[in-house]
Amino acid sequence: MRMMKISIDKAYCKGCEICIKACPKSVFAMSEERQSFGSLIPYPAKAEKCVGCKLCEMLCPDGCINVE
């Protein structure tokens, strides 16, 4: 299986953590990086575990996640 490319548009992410809760493989974690308004931004900490289900992409309320 090939490794999926996961990108997060940090400019629009509000740090709601839906991607973290939705991922069946626990790919995401919160980073130490903060938005200008103070919330933490998630990142694909375990991208190698991604199976490409795209639940994170579908459930992100701001359309910030892209899985290829």
The pLDDT > 70 percentage for the chain reads 99
Phi, psi of 58 (to 5 degrees): -70, -35
Rounded to an integer, what distance in angstroms lies between the CA atom of residue 68 and that of residue 52?
Answer: 7
Q: Specify the fold of 6-67.
A: Alpha-Beta Plaits (3.30.70)
- Asked if residues 43 and 59 have their Cβ atoms less than 8 Å apart, the reply is no
Global pTM reads: 0.89
Taking only the tens place, the pLDDT of each residue in 12-32 is 999 999 999 999 999 999 999
The alpha carbon torsion through 22, 8, 66, 7 (nearest 10 deg) reads -110
- Asked if residues 62 and 13 have their Cβ atoms less than 8 Å apart, the reply is yes
pLDDT of residue 1: 66
